[in-house]
Amino acid sequence: MAVKFDLNEREVWDGAYAASQALRQAQVDVLAAYPITPSTPIVENYGSYEANGYIDGEVIMVESEHAAMSACVGASGSGGRVATATSSQGFALMAEVLYQASGMRLPIVMTVVNRALASPLNVRGDHSDMYLGRDSGWIQLGAFNAEEAYDLTLCAFKIGEDHSVRLPVMVHQDGFTTSHTAQNVYPITDEKAYKFVGDFKPVDDMLDFSRPVTYGAQTEEDWHFEHKARQHKAIMDSRPVIDATFEEFEKLSGRKYKRVETYHMDDAEVAIVALGTTVETALVAARELREEEGIKAGVVAIRVFRPFPLDQVRLALKDVKAVSVLDRSAPGGAMGAFFNEVSAALYTTNARPLVTNYIYGLGGRDFSIAEAKRIFKEQKAHADIGHITTDIQKFSGLRGPEFGYFQTLRG
């Protein structure tokens, strides 16, 4: 029997501790992990809960992140509530098994502390690993601060384990900026948290010998297409489940979440579209520009990266004149992946705002309020003149000389 863990009305937690507390409250049966910075504290904290008798579940330390996800697949397929945590290179090593987990429709929850991918080696936060997993068939939720990392981890279990969904879920938080920054968090009690998540009810349990099932079947051209189409339908059909889960969590906690969050967008002429902690920085910049200079700036934040909320992005940006889409990942010879998705959403409507791609914050480079203001003002200049006067893709906050290949994409 697990020992009671007392929580105050208000706690001061960093994002890693917040995620570990949510895993504890969900009463995970198996957590399999291999430590990697900056997600290591999540597993360390959870391991201490086991050592001190606060949980009944098992903690399995394995030889690699590939093995960690493989163990999660086995445990989930055997009928357990399963979770893990990782970052960056560890996420990349898991990539093969991510597709196995989603293809087998296993509702594993993974807290991903976003970090740059090598080379060169870097332990700071950007969104390279998030983008790497965007087509792996997992639902992807994004936290902007520590409290949201806690809330969304609890929501992840309820979403993924819904029998109409049955898909794995990632909860992303920015490395160090969220994971290692202490903030006020208002947790809910253990009893209320577990009641919200609910008992785990397995489907196609491998240990149910009265109803044998097969995992890891080979399909080839006969049925592979149909299998992937059903999987895609399941992730797209998860949208109302996500919305309903957020509504239920609001009733429990008073905290409201939407797949797309909008700030000052009712009359906005220029907007930043962003993910993660950048959202709060951009929001401060928008407020100050409105108060100080009368610039009608707004922010659109993507809470659910997969399934991508194409319809809600269209609606949020339908009246703006100029949009800047911020990609915190190296584009690798193309426009930013996030830019491409937002642009695709807008291209299928009559709205034709001017859209600029900003690559920023790679390897943990700070994104300041002043830089956000500069971007808003640049978009205001585009809106005033009616066309993009700078490069369509820009590297924001880059030090050193301007290299010629940054000047090849003109508006």
Q: What is the mean pLDDT of residues 388-396?
A: 91
Q: Is 128 exposed, middle or buried (0-12, 13-18, 19+ CB in 10 A)?
A: buried
pLDDT score of 349: 85
Contact 321/270 with Cβ under 8 angstroms?
yes
Q: Is the pLDDT of residue 402 over 80?
A: no
Give the 3-state secondary structure percentages of the chain, helix then strand then coil, rounded to 5: 40, 20, 40
Separation CA 398–CA 359 (nearest Å): 9
Coil/strand/helix, residue 274? strand
* Domain 11-203+218-253 architecture: 3-Layer(aba) Sandwich (3.40)
Least confident of 2-11, 19-28, 306-315: 2-11
pLDDT score of 139: 98
Contact 162/124 with Cβ under 8 angstroms?
no
The values of phi and psi at residue 262, to 5°, are -125, 140
Tell me the per-residue pLDDT of 110-162, one tens digit each, with 9 for 90 and over.
999 999 999 999 999 999 999 999 999 999 999 999 999 999 999 999 999 99
Separation CA 60–CA 84 (nearest Å): 10
CB atoms near residue 188 (< 10 Å): 21
pLDDT band of residue 354 (cuts 50, 70, 90) is very high
Question: Where in the chain are all domains bearing CATH 3.40.50.970?
Answer: 11-203+218-253
Q: Residue 221 corresponds to which tokens in the numbers above?
A: 């051209």
Of 66, 283, 28, the residue nearest 160 (C-alpha): 28
pLDDT band of residue 405 (cuts 50, 70, 90) is very low
Tell me the per-residue pLDDT of 46-65, one tens digit each, with 9 for 90 and over.
999 999 999 999 999 999 99
Tell me the per-residue pLDDT of 223-276, one tens digit each, with 9 for 90 and over.
999 999 999 999 999 999 999 999 999 999 999 999 999 999 999 999 999 999
Tell me the per-residue pLDDT of 297-340, one tens digit each, with 9 for 90 and over.
999 999 999 999 999 999 999 999 999 999 999 999 999 999 99
Name the β-bridge partners of 140: 170, 306
Q: Is the pLDDT of residue 403 over 60?
A: no
**Which percentage of the chain shows pLDDT scores above 70?**
97
Of 142, 140, 141, the residue nearest 174 (C-alpha): 142
pLDDT band of residue 409 (cuts 50, 70, 90) is very low
pLDDT band of residue 167 (cuts 50, 70, 90) is very high
pLDDT score of 404: 44
Q: What is the mean pLDDT of residues 7-28?
A: 97
Mean pLDDT estimate for the chain = 95
Separation CA 269–CA 271 (nearest Å): 7
Q: Is the pLDDT of residue 360 over 60?
A: yes
Of 41, 25, 36, the residue nearest 68 (C-alpha): 36
Output the CA torsion 404→409→410→411 (10° steps).
-160
Q: Is the pLDDT of residue 401 over 90?
A: no
Separation CA 96–CA 45 (nearest Å): 27
DSSP state of 351: -
Length of the chain: 411
Question: Where in the chain are all domains bearing CATH 3.40.50.920?
Answer: 260-399
Q: What is the mean pLDDT of residues 86-114?
A: 98
In angstroms and rounded to an integer, the radius of gyration of the C-alpha atoms of the chain is 21
Residue type, 402: E
Of 45, 313, 28, 280, the residue nearest 144 (C-alpha): 280
DSSP state of 391: B
* CA–CA distances in Å: residue 170 to residues 101, 152, 156, 273, 375: 12, 10, 8, 21, 30
CB atoms near residue 405 (< 10 Å): 7
Tell me the per-residue pLDDT of 31-47, one tens digit each, with 9 for 90 and over.
999 999 999 999 999 99
Q: What is the mean pLDDT of residues 185-193?
A: 97
Contact 115/131 with Cβ under 8 angstroms?
no
pLDDT score of 1: 63
| Single pTM value for the model | 0.96
Contact 313/324 with Cβ under 8 angstroms?
no
CB atoms near residue 207 (< 10 Å): 10
Contact 116/214 with Cβ under 8 angstroms?
no
Is the domain defined by 260-399 classed in CATH 3.40.50.920? yes
